[in-house]
């Protein structure tokens, strides 16, 4: 079997080029200024909601300004639980630019004059028409249903956006190394992703990430669910010990998205899970199962966690005789009659 026959595989393996375009496109866009807003919201649906969680955490870490993520459906249907009385900057993220909840939520937000809108997408569609600042990464476009290259490209764009809002040109400069490092990581660790993914003795996967990595753990979990129909859940590292670890046994894989600052605490959790029988896989800058060795500042290298975990889900899908390009019951664009 040639894995190249699958669009998902080709999109994962070619994503570094889309990262490069995301960097260049986001640097060129005229952005708003942080002091102009009382709150910053990131919104999306599914994968892009998880992207919003990661981006909001990064925005607050870099700028010191309060930011939060909310599903677009909640912004649309329960806006009073989301919006404050002050001026809001809304960052709306959608691969297609046509996702119903996101479009309707942004349309309502603009009509009620709550503030300004930044759109991050892979297609210049109806959502872009509401944007005060529009970031479109066309090289992130995909044929497959599950987001891989698109998610990563939009996450890079969101990271550049956050760094620019923080006035951190040094971080943006460092991010230019990401595509080369990403390709190297895929070359070095695709065999590990294949080995873990194809092992059907495993029946549950847990992805642990804290701080700016939690949203990425959520996304890795979703890829495993979508492509492989396998029990999968994301947790913050320390939170996993408060009940969820009761599910850990010899058929479990626990994946840790390790940080630099809190690694000593995160490693203790993984050590406990290994003692309970889990197969533990660690991703991080160095001395891990998947080593980035990037020398890129931790705050803006988050995209490097994604490719190996995407490949792991891809290989598991194929091993289970599923079609990773077309997961059960899903479509590339979700449209609802609202």
Tens of pLDDT, residues 22-47: 999 999 999 888 778 999 999 999 99
Residues 226 and 273 in one domain: yes
| Residue 332 placed within a domain | no
Q: Look up tokens 């994946």; give the residue.
A: 255
Residues 309 and 165 in one domain: no
User: Tell me, what's the pLDDT at 334?
Assistant: 56
Residues 125 and 207 in one domain: no
User: Which pair of tokens denotes residue 292?
Assistant: 């980035």
Give dist(CA 20, CA 154) in Å, integer. Answer: 11
Residue finishing a domain among 175, 190, 211: 175
User: Tell me, what's the pLDDT at 32?
Assistant: 86
What CATH number should be reported for the domain holding residue 59? 3.40.50.10490
User: Tell me, what's the pLDDT at 35?
Assistant: 77
Number of domains forming the structure of the chain: 2
| Residue 313 placed within a domain | yes
pLDDT tens digits along 215-228? 999 999 999 999 99
Residues 263 and 155 in one domain: no
pLDDT tens digits along 164-216? 999 999 999 999 999 999 999 999 999 999 999 999 999 999 999 999 999 99
Work out whether the CA dihedral 315, 316, 317, 318 comes out positive or negative. positive
Higher pLDDT, 312 or 30: 312
Residues 153 and 13 in one domain: yes
User: Tell me, what's the pLDDT at 84?
Assistant: 87
Residues 63 and 198 in one domain: no
Residue finishing a domain among 107, 141, 175: 175
Residues 264 and 300 in one domain: yes
| Residue 338 placed within a domain | no
Q: What are the Cα distances from residue 134, in Å, to 157, 179, 333?
A: 11, 23, 20
Residues 197 and 60 in one domain: no
Name the average pLDDT for the chain: 95
Q: What is the pTM of this model?
A: 0.96
**pLDDT at 103 exceeding the cut of 90:** yes
**pLDDT at 124 exceeding the cut of 70:** yes
| Residue 327 placed within a domain | no
| Residue 249 placed within a domain | yes
User: Tell me, what's the pLDDT at 24?
Assistant: 96
Residues 169 and 310 in one domain: no
pLDDT tens digits along 52-89? 999 999 999 999 999 999 999 999 999 999 998 889 99
User: Tell me, what's the pLDDT at 331?
Assistant: 61
Residues 219 and 304 in one domain: yes
**pLDDT at 152 exceeding the cut of 60:** yes
Quickly list DSSP for 213-240: GHHHHHHHHHHHHHHH--EEEEE-TGGG
| Residue 144 placed within a domain | yes
Residue finishing a domain among 175, 208, 242: 175
| Residue 299 placed within a domain | yes
User: Tell me, what's the pLDDT at 337?
Assistant: 66
| Residue 324 placed within a domain | no
Q: 237: number of CA atoms within 13 Å, CB side?
A: 21
Structural domain harbouring 185: 178-319
């Amino acid at each position: 079997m040639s894995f190249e026959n699958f669009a998902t595989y080709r999109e994962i393996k070619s994503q570094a080029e889309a990262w490069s375009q995301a960097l260049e496109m986001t640097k060129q866009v005229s952005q708003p200024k942080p002091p102009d807003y009382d709150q910053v919201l990131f919104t999306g649906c599914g994968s892009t909601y998880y992207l919003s969680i990661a981006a909001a955490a990064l925005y607050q870490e870099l700028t010191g300004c309060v930011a939060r993520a909310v599903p677009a459906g909640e912004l649309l249907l329960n806006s009073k639980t989301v919006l404050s009385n002050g001026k809001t900057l809304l960052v709306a993220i959608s691969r297609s630019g046509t996702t119903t909840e996101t479009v309707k939520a942004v349309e309502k937000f603009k009509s009620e004059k709550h503030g300004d809108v930044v759109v991050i997408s892979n297609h210049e569609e109806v959502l872009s028409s509401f944007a005060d600042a529009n970031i479109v990464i066309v090289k992130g476009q995909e044929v497959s249903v599950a987001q891989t290259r698109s998610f990563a490209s939009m996450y890079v764009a969101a990271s550049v956006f956050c760094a620019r809002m923080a006035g951190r040109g040094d971080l943006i400069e460092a991010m230019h190394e990401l595509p080369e490092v990403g390709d190297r990581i895929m070359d070095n660790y695709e065999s590990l992703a294949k080995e873990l993914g194809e092992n059907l003795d495993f029946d549950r996967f847990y992805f642990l990430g804290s701080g700016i990595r939690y949203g990425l753990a959520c996304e890795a979990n979703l890829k495993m669910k979508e492509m492989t129909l396998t029990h999968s859940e994301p947790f913050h590292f320390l939170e996993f010990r408060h009940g969820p670890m009761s599910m850990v046994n010899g058929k479990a894989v626990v994946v840790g998205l390790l940080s630099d600052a809190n690694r000593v605490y995160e490693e203790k959790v993984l050590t406990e899970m290994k003692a309970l029988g889990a197969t533990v896989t660690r991703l991080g800058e160095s001395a891990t199962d998947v080593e980035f060795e990037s020398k890129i500042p931790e705050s803006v290298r988050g995209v490097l966690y994604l490719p190996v975990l995407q490949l792991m889900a891809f290989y598991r899908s194929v091993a289970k005789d599923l079609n990773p390009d077309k997961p059960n019951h899903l479509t590339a664009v979700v449209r609802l009659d609202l």
